[in-house]
Amino acid sequence: MRLRLLSSSAALLLLLLSPAGAEDRREMVAMPEEAQHRLLQGMHDHMSAFASILSYIANEHFESAARLAETQLPIGPMDPETEQDMLAYLPSAMLDGRSSLKEAGKRLAVTARRAAAEHSYYRMRKVAGAVADVQAACAMCHAHYRIR
């Protein structure tokens, strides 16, 4: 876990340090416009789900945070058929990235429920760690892939 976090921080740092206009090293994943649109729409849903999760945690609404984390990360399927069409264009390493996000979302749900049952500094630290892992899963994929 720590290693994964370290490597994603390093990847982010590299991305941030690269001079403007430097070569984009992310792998280009080609797909038709319709699939691109679906993927980006899904990303916007990720963004708002993650914002809601953080807000629920800040307000100690742990069950609501847990429910969103386990159902919306990765985003709950649009129409499953459309989702399958979009997923078919993703390389397997990108699908692995999606699975990492799913796993991180599930772990966040578990830690949030534990924090609901036991209000303690220790439990909140576990929640914070799980939030960081979710964010790391987003960042890892963004550091490696682009679709346009």
- List residues near ligand HEC by CB under 6 A: 40, 43-44, 46-47, 50, 73, 94, 97-98, 101, 134, 137-138, 141-142, 145-148
For ligand HEC, which is the closer residue by CB, 36 or 124?
36
User: Pairing relation of β-strands 27-28 and 145-146?
Assistant: parallel
Output the CA–CA distances (angstroms, integers) from residue 138 to 14, 20, 21, 91, 131, in the order listed. 16, 22, 23, 16, 11
Count, residues in the chain:
148
B/e letters for 92-128, b = 16+ CB within 10 Å, e = fewer, are eebeebbebbeebbebbbebbbbbbeeeeeebeebbe
Backbone dihedral angles phi then psi of residue 103, each to the nearest 5 degrees: -60, -45
For ligand HEC, which is the closer residue by CB, 48 or 120?
48
Least distance between ligand HEC and beta carbon 139 (Å): 8
Least distance between ligand HEC and beta carbon 116 (Å): 22
Residue matched to tokens 């340090």: 17
For ligand HEC, which is the closer residue by CB, 86 or 134?
134
For ligand HEC, which is the closer residue by CB, 52 or 110?
52
Least distance between ligand HEC and beta carbon 119 (Å): 26
Least distance between ligand HEC and beta carbon 117 (Å): 25
Please give the DSSP secondary-structure letter assigned to residue 40.
H
Least distance between ligand HEC and beta carbon 62 (Å): 18
For ligand HEC, which is the closer residue by CB, 4 or 142?
142
